[in-house]
Structures are given as structure tokens and as C-alpha cells.
Chains A and B, each alone.
Chain A
Amino acid sequence: MRILFNRRICSGHARCNEKGPDVYGLDEMGYCLPRSPIVPPELEEQARDGARNCPEGALTIVED
């Protein structure tokens, strides 16, 4: 599983971090900073949860 993060439209809701803290970190402003573009199997649920709760639609999950 991979994360596609559109930095341009992230606006710092930080909902990803709340739902998937091990997958999504935050920068100093509270904007999303994915910890790694590749998601290990045990964190897939967190990754999906974080992406689905982004109000901006800035996170896309690619299941490959």
C-alpha cells in the first residue's frame, strides 16, 4: 500500500494524524507529513482511516 499526498491542498486539519498517528506525522504548522510513502501491512487500517477523514481530500491510498 502507498500514500499519495497532495501537499498543495493540505490545510492543516490534522485529522490524518488523529486517526493514523503512526502513518501521518505533522510539521511545525500542524500540516501533514506522511512518515513514509509506503505503508507496512500492520498500519494499513490507520492509513485508510486517516485518508478518509481528510476534509481536503489531500490523501489517496493506492492498494498495490
Chain B
Amino acid sequence: MTEAQAGPSPPTTPDHVPASLVFSYDFSGDPMFATAPVDAPEHLTRGAPDIFYSPLNGGFWVLKRFDDMREVSRRPDVFSNYPAGIPATVGRSRKMAPIEIDPPELDRYRYTLGPALAPPKVKAMEDQVRSIAGPLIAACAPDGRADFVEAVSSKLPVRMFLRLVNVDDSESEPLRILHRQLFSGATVEARIHAGVTLEKYYTDLVRQRQDNLGDDLISRYITATPEGGAFSFEDVVDATMQLFVAGLDTVTNVLSLTWDYLARHPEMQQLIRDDPSIIPSAADEMLRYTGIISSTRTLTQDFEFNGVRMKTGDRVLMPLNLANRDPEVFPDGGEVHFGRKINNHLAFGSGPHRCLGSHLAKLEMVVTLEEWFRRVPAFSLDPHDPALSHGGHAFGMDRLPLIWEAAR
């Protein structure tokens, strides 16, 4: 993700794609993502076949159904995770690990990281998350206004991460700013520059850590002796970098979109105020409803998938937002129900690459909701300062100015 994406290319439709399956879907640039990203995938693909081919961005298949996304995720032999991104990121010499690594090589990453991020370990992090979320919210609560992205949602995950890798809090601001530039930088140059700077930062961090091992995630990678072999220095740098990339922007975006929804729906805020015990279930519902990630796969062979002929090298996009609204699984999926009883959503993907940080992400959401509702009264969007969102493989928000009655 540190290098440039190939520039816009003219629409392309290869010969094996029947005209009846062609439908343009601009998951990164359609203007609807700037104002209503959560509803955009459903709105923009309405009327398209369940499996269709978008000729934009070099051309790619799009899956709309829950079952199809699950099936594809379970067939890494046919649908490889390499390369990530549509269009594929170019100019990279090494794979992003673990996201671009297919099984069985993937296993050594998951066996190394999995136990450290499994539910019992994450439960023990609750006090740490609270000690970060509480002060961030307390700092802006008296003001009666804040850009939620700037004040809370972009700060919390960086600070939590620094604890996971045992780095001092004082580094959180420079890192946060670099990561925001990496994803939302105004120009390609700014994004590349942020990527290069971060790569150097993580390289130095791993080098220092080699002589200073501890009980943190980087040390785990350095010292692991999994079946399939220990990790090289470069492996550890790649994995450290990807951990940050996967765990910062995602949490920021789901938090922001959740607060955006709540700001527009005072009655839903009231439900939480009346009964804070619904927060864990509300967090899952917002993970489902937002479904911010669109993952990619690439065909390793010619393959007929549910009646559609795909060819080696074809790209596939899986907008998980659509799986989470598939009418066959979620008949009222366009609506938010904090008490939803059956919520088997795919916000964290499915199959061998299921999000390793899913439990931490949910904990961060739950604790932030708890700490916020303890301190801030009814809030709404700032009518004079519009929010701004973006599309892409992880859609989300750039700014979210909120207002509420300030404490006197």
C-alpha cells in the first residue's frame, strides 16, 4: 500500500465476459461515497446481476451475495489473496503479510498472532482501551463540539496499537498524522511520502526491538518458531507495518460512521442511554450495517463460478457491505436494529483470512460507546460544518463535526 496505484485506465471488458454481465461500479470514486458511503454499495449496484463485471479500474468481477463471498473466501487455491487492491498496487517488491499470503504459508502468521489477539487476551486489554478512550472524550466533552475523527476516532486506535507494540505514547501524534496521510493524503505524492516514511519507521522499530525483546506483538513475530519456519527481519517489518495498516484506519472508519449514524438518529442514541447493556449488540449491528471493507481476490486458474466463466488473472471484489445486506440472510438488512438476534455478519471477512483483530476492534467500539455516553448528552451533526466521507477498499470518514449542549 506504500506505492502508487496505477492511474485511471480506459474501461476494459475481456472477451470471456458476456455483455449481459457488464455493469459499472465505481467503489472508490463515485460521489455518493462522499456523503452516504454506507448506502452507496447497495444503491450503486442496484439492478446489476448477482455476479457482474465492472469495466472500471482495469476491470473486475463484483460479488453481491453473502454465500458467494463466503464460498470464494474459502477457496484460496482458486481465488488468491495476491495481489491486494483494485487496481493492484504496483511497484512493490514484497508481499504484504499476512493479507497477501495464501494458505498454507499463511498459517505461520496466524499461529503467531492469533493467540495474542484471541478473546481471552483481548478481554484483558479492556482497562487499557478505557484509559485511552475516557480521557480523549473527557477532553472534548465540555466544548460542546468536536470533529469526532480528529478528537476521538483517529486517535484511539493509534494509542491502543502503541501499547500492543510497547511504544511510548509520545509517538502517537506523528504516527497518526502519517497514517491519515497514507489513506487520505490530498495527492498521490503525499500518500507515497507517508508510506515511505512509515516503512522506515517500522524498520527502525523492529531493529531496536531485536535487542529489546518483550511481551509485545513485534517480539512475538521475532521470536516465533512456527512450523513453516521463523520470520526473517523483512518478514517482521512487513507484518508490523500491515498490522498498523489493518488496525488503524478500519477502526477509525467504523467508529466515525457509527457516530455519524447516531448523530442523525437521536432515537437510537436514546436507546443506548436508556439501557447501556445493549452496547455490545449495538456495536455488532454497526459493524454489520457499515461493512466498510471490500476485499479482493485474483483467479489462479480458469474457473466457472456459479455459472459465470472466470479466467486466470481476473480480479474479484467482495463488498462485505452487500453481504451484510443480502436479503436472503438479512431481510431487513438496510435497517439498524441494536437488538438484532441473528447477526452472523461478514464485516470481518470469512475463511482463512478472517480479521485477526476482530475482537480488539469490537472491544474498542464497545468501550468508546460506553465512555462517550457516560459523558456527552444528545449530539447532532454540525449544521454549519459538513461531514466528509470517502470510498475505496475501506470506506469511511475524513471529518465528522458534531455538536451538543456544552456543560456549564
Contacts and interface: CB of A to CB of B under 8 A. Distances in A.
Contact of B118 (A11, A26, A49, A56): A26
Given A26-B118, A29-B110, A30-B114, 20 more contacts: A9-B74, A9-B351, A12-B114, A13-B348, A14-B119, A14-B359, A28-B115, A29-B114, A29-B115, A30-B117, A30-B359, A52-B341, A52-B342, A53-B343, A53-B344, A55-B70, A55-B344, A56-B350, A56-B351, A57-B344
A23 interface: no
A11 B352 contact: yes
A12 B116 CA distance: 13
Contact of A30 (B118, B341, B342, B352): B118
B201 interface: no
Interface centre among A9, A14, A30, A56, by most B CB within 10 Å? A30
Interface residues of A, number: 19
A23 to B, nearest CB: 15
A53 B342 contact: yes
Interface of A: 9, 11-15, 17-18, 26, 28-30, 49, 52-57
Given A12-B114, A28-B118, A55 B342 contact: no
Contacts, number: 55
Nearest to A56: B350
Interface string B113-136: 011011110000000000000000
Which secondary structure characterizes the binding site on chain A? loop
B354 A12 contact: yes
A56 B351 CA distance: 8
A26 B354 contact: no
A29 B74 contact: no
B180 to A, nearest CB: 29
Q: How large is the interface on B (under 10, 10 to 19, 20 to 34, 35 or more residues)?
A: 20 to 34
B70 A56 contact: yes
Contacts of A28: 114-115, 118
Contacts of A15: 343-344
B111 interface: yes
27 contacts: A9-B351, A11-B350, A11-B352, A12-B114, A12-B118, A12-B354, A13-B348, A13-B354, A13-B358, A14-B118, A14-B119, A14-B359, A26-B118, A26-B120, A29-B110, A29-B111, A29-B115, A30-B115, A30-B119, A30-B359, A52-B342, A53-B343, A54-B344, A55-B348, A56-B70, A56-B351, A57-B70
Nearest to B121: A30
B315 interface: no
Interface in B325-361: 341-346, 348, 350-352, 354, 358-359
Interface in B172-202: none
Nearest to A27: B118
Which are the 6 A-B pairs with shortest beta-carbon distances? Answer: A30-B118, A11-B354, A29-B114, A55-B344, A52-B342, A28-B115
